[in-house]
Amino acid sequence: MITATVPDAARMQRRCVDTLRCGVRAVLGVMAVSLLSGCADDAPVVQRPEYSRADAMPQLRRLSFGVHPLHNPGRLMALYGPIVEALNEALPDVVIRLEASRDYADYERKLRERTLDLALPNPYQTVAVAAPAYRVFGKVSGDEDFHGLILRRRDSPIRQPLDLRGATFSCPSRTAVAACMLPLLHLREAGLDVARQLDVRTVGSQESSILNVARGLVDAGATWPPPWRAFQKDYPELAAQLEVAWVTDNLPNNSLMARTDLEPELVERVAQFLFGLAATEEGRRLLVNAEIAGFEPATDARYAPVQAMLARYAKLIGPIGP
């Protein structure tokens, strides 16, 4: 598990220092009163100072925020870490820890075991994995960006979906909606029997799926717009060897979810901070860094189109594999 924690230790240290200062002032006050009283004949016995126990110090509430493997863990931390740091500054009574996962299976295990307090899952994970224990309170804006891309090399002989019969095909995970499920459904509806005529290879991450195509390890592969844009920026020479062969339909973007036993008031505070990012210059800077348009309110009902897509997928392709 890879985690990034806002420096809450420093915040606790500051609070402890303030508490200590108050304690010292209180003790000095008691001693002064006692000494003055000692001048009288009926001077009371000087009271010894009492020290507060360590376990009485204020404790910060700790929460975990798990983002599904949009990117490899290092890049995910670089993109979403600053947003979580800003969230911690806005909510001084809690410490929210950003948690990355090794792969989709690891992330989905955390949702099933309810180890995450807050989550940003993909649409499949929203309705099929997290739904029993989590509720939707928002989503990533920009549904026009939530679609799949099927990549091929520019020198590839593949020109139409049926040319992929017997070919190899990469994707991050079979449960990656935009980067696997939608592309496979697109190819199936174009006439390719992806369950029997396509060798689908799950390679763990978006970057790996693109690299497999670029290096000629597979005939074609799937991803979605944000990692493709990042790949073009980071590896322009490799990206120039690739082209987008097909673009799929859109679905609602990734959701924001909270565990059902989390206090509504706390969830509302988190929601209002995230929804308000696009309204400030600093917030917009954080969103640009994370390569997203922003966050907006949503409920479970917003993901009804995902249920319909899953039913179509199961009918045309079969059960969703690991």
Tell which wins on pLDDT, 170 or 54: 170
Average pLDDT over the chain, rounded to an integer:
85
Domain ranges of the chain: 61-144+253-312, 147-250
Mean pLDDT computed over 184-198: 97
State both tokens at 181: 């499920």
Per-residue exposure over 78-115, b if at least 16 CB sit within 10 Å of its own CB, e if not: ebbbbbbbbbbeebeebbbbbbbbebbeebbebbeeee
Q: What is the 3 state secondary structure string of the chain?
A: CEEEECCHHHHHHHHHHHHHHHHHHHHHHHHHHHHHHCCCCCCCCCCCCCCCCHHHCCCCEEEEEEECCCCCHHHHHHHHHHHHHHHHHHCCCEEEEEEECCCHHHHHHHHHCCCCCEEECCHHHHHHHCCCCEEEEEEECCHHHCEEEEEEECCCCCCCHHHHCCEEEEECCCCCHHHHHHHHHHHHHCCCCHHHHEEEEECCCHHHHHHHHHCCCCCEEEECHHHHHHHHHHCHHHHCCEEEEEEEEECCCCEEEEECCCCHHHHHHHHHHHHCHHHCHHHHHHHHHHCCCCEEECCHHHHHHHHHHHHHHHHHCCCCCC
What is the C-alpha to C-alpha distance for residues 111 and 121, in angstroms, rounded to an integer? 9
pLDDT in tens, 255-304: 999 999 999 999 999 999 999 999 999 999 999 999 999 999 999 999 99
Domain 147-250, CATH homologous superfamily name and number:
Periplasmic binding protein-like II (3.40.190.10)
What's the pLDDT at 27?
Answer: 34
Q: What is the CATH number of domain 61-144+253-312?
A: 3.40.190.10
What's the pLDDT at 321?
Answer: 63
What's the pLDDT at 60?
Answer: 87
What's the pLDDT at 22?
Answer: 39
Same fold, 61-144+253-312 and 147-250: yes
pLDDT in tens, 68-101: 988 888 888 999 999 999 999 999 999 999 999 9
pTM above 0.85, yes or no: no
